[in-house]
Amino acid sequence: MKRKEILEFIEQEKIVAIIRLNEQIKAPHVVKNLILGGIKVLEITSNTPGYLDEINNARRLYPNVLVGAGTVTDTRIAENAIKAGAQFLVTPNTNKAIVTEAHKYDIPVLMGALTPTEVCLAVEYGADIVKLFPAGNLGIDYFKAIRGPFNHVKFFIVGGIDLNNMQDWIEAGALGFGIGGSLMGSNENKEDIAKRVAKFIKLVKEI
């Protein structure tokens, strides 16, 4: 898929599942269960042990799912993730070099930004989507204030998103979400994950 097609797919799905684990052995199980629940876009963070292997494995096993790399803070991580098969990159920070590297390979970047200056820089650098992070700490009122001068920017919201507030964020102008803990919960049981995921997907598609 080309960058434009990948971006359109992400915008259509609206949810990027964030997989951040402390043990590599859990990754295949979590990926499988999220996908069984209906997730079609996921990121495996660079601070998950063996993340490059798990990106490669997920690409091979689930060709109809978009697999990206998260917590991409520098070009070294970006290069390694792209070589492993990442179809998009997600950053917590605002870094021009990462956009330059990704776009060389026709790969989109969801770039982390929080302040007005960081949002401006992310747009200037060519970020495909601005990831407002950590959004939950400042809340919807802050997002509404940011959107005033930046109503042309595509925002995905990351941090503090759950079933109780997702609709409010969308009504405030959010294009989509990166969600980790709320999807996973404290129980990694297959049925529990699938049920939670299904609720999130149903809600986001209905709004």
Q: DSSP secondary-structure letter at 144?
A: H
Q: pLDDT per residue over 88-138, tens digit each? A: 999 999 999 999 999 999 999 999 999 999 999 999 999 999 999 999 889
Q: Model-level pTM?
A: 0.95
Question: How far apart are alpha carbons 105 and 51 in whole angstroms?
Answer: 20
Catalytic residue among 14, 40, 131, 154: 131
Cα→Cα distances 29→19, 21, 173, Å = 11, 11, 34
Q: Compute the mean pLDDT over every residue in the chain, rounded to the nearest whole number.
A: 94
pLDDT average, residue stretch 145-164: 95
SS3 23: coil
Task: Return the pLDDT at 192.
Answer: 79
> Cα 169–172–177 angle (5° rounding)?
35
Total domains, the chain: 1
Helical spans, DSSP H, in 14-160: 27-37, 51-61, 75-84, 96-104, 116-125, 135-138, 140-147
Residue 193's pLDDT band, with cuts at 50, 70 and 90, is confident
Task: Return the pLDDT at 188.
Answer: 62
Q: DSSP secondary-structure letter at 25?
A: G
Q: Give the closest residue to 59 by CA, choosing from 105, 28, 100, 13.
A: 28
Task: Return the pLDDT at 165.
Answer: 94
Expressed as residue numbers, the domain containing 137 is 3-206
Clarify whether 131 is annotated catalytic: yes
SS3 130: strand
Task: Return the pLDDT at 184.
Answer: 78
CATH code (residue 79)? 3.20.20.70
Clarify whether 43 is annotated catalytic: yes
Q: Tell me the residue type at 119.
A: V
Q: pLDDT per residue over 27-50, tens digit each? A: 999 999 999 999 999 999 999 999
Catalytic residue among 13, 43, 54, 101: 43
Q: Give the closest residue to 44 by CA, choosing from 180, 194, 198.
A: 180
Q: pLDDT per residue over 55-65, tens digit each? A: 999 999 999 99
The token pair at 34 is 């999220």
